[in-house]
Amino acid sequence: MTTETGTLFLHPDRNLALELVRATEAAAIRAVPFIGRGDKNGADGAAVDAMRKFLGTVNFDGVVVIGEGEKDEAPMLFNGEHVGNGRGPACDIAVDPIDGTSLTASGRRNAISMIAAADRGAMLDAHTVFYMEKIVTGPEGIGVVDLRQSVAENIQKLAKAKGKPVSEMSIGILDRPRHEGLIEEIRAAGAGTRLLLDGDVAGGIDAASYEGRLDMCIGIGGSPEGVATACAIKALGGLIQTRLAPKTDEEKQKGLDAGLKFDHVYSADELVKGDNTFFVATGVTDGNLVGGVRRKGPIIRTESIVLRARSGTIRRITADHLVEKWLDDNELAGL
């Protein structure tokens, strides 16, 4: 299909992810001066502005189906916002300019900037309910692990499927007061916990990766992160299941009014339909998934990961950017 302005594609094509990674690179770079400065909203605001600017240059018609920020009044790319130049494939996107704002503000590991994309109408719009229960594993968990089973049963079954003793199982979980009971159950089952300070997207990808350090990632985290993680898990061939976890009756009613299902376990295909999904992430700070932004003389170096479900490909991209093209003199002290 063609127009006077060029070719229009009905679906996201293979080059889209390589365009989107420019936006996550920009967001990560702009967040660097805020690392360790204790200002998570400042970091998020800088990353949002940079991501929005670069998304505007991409040949696609994107709609933010689910974004980050509403639950803590932080800066955000808002739900329903149109991004891109309007030409090219029509897409749903899930964004988090910084997954790990607290990590960034405190100078800790594993903060990333990420975008997930799929065909228009493919993503579950769960923005009315901010949190969901999640369980993520690699391919060995398919048909074995189920969110409706006890934690101990899931660990035991997955250990058997992976051919390793329970004592060697590593379970990732956000370090939150709400998870105290779940942490005790994991340890009582004989497995070890890896407490995540923030960023369960990276934790989920780690659990689904064949070279990851985690065997499973579990617990309650953000709904935007759940949808984005599903895009990545489809490329990795792993398992993700989620169940909405409203904090109030009012929030649950908003979800019901929006057509969401409660006491229902959402599969990967319900979180995002089809296999034409992309996931891109750039490191803000160093982490297990990707390295953080580094200043090397006159350049800024970024490390990104690009996952495409249709082709099952995982690309790692290291890019060097001239400092003078990105930052003014007042910002260089942060690099």
* Binding-site entries for Mn(2+): 44, 68, 96, 99, 225
- Residues comprising the binding site? 44, 68, 96, 99-101, 131, 176-178, 198-200, 222, 225
- Residues comprising the binding site for substrate? 99-101, 131, 176-178, 198-200, 222
**Hey, what are 105's tokens?**
């503000």
User: Could you tell me which of 318, 307, 319 has the C-alpha nearest to residue 117?
Assistant: 307
User: Could you tell me which of 143, 196, 140 has the C-alpha nearest to residue 171?
Assistant: 196
Assess contact for 252 and 236: CB atoms under 8 A. Answer: no
Tell me the three state secondary structure of residue 266.
strand
User: Could you tell me which of 150, 155, 91 has the C-alpha nearest to residue 123?
Assistant: 91
Strand segments, DSSP code E, in the chain are 2-3, 6-7, 61-66, 82-83, 90-99, 112-119, 131-137, 170-174, 192-196, 216-222, 239-244, 278-283, 294-296, 299-308, 313-322
- Supply the Cα-derived Rg of the chain in whole angstroms: 19
The residues, any chain, with a CB within 8 Å of residue 114's CB and separated by 6 or more, are: 24, 95, 96, 99, 201, 228, 279, 280, 281, 282
User: Could you tell me which of 108, 9, 121 has the C-alpha nearest to residue 65?
Assistant: 121
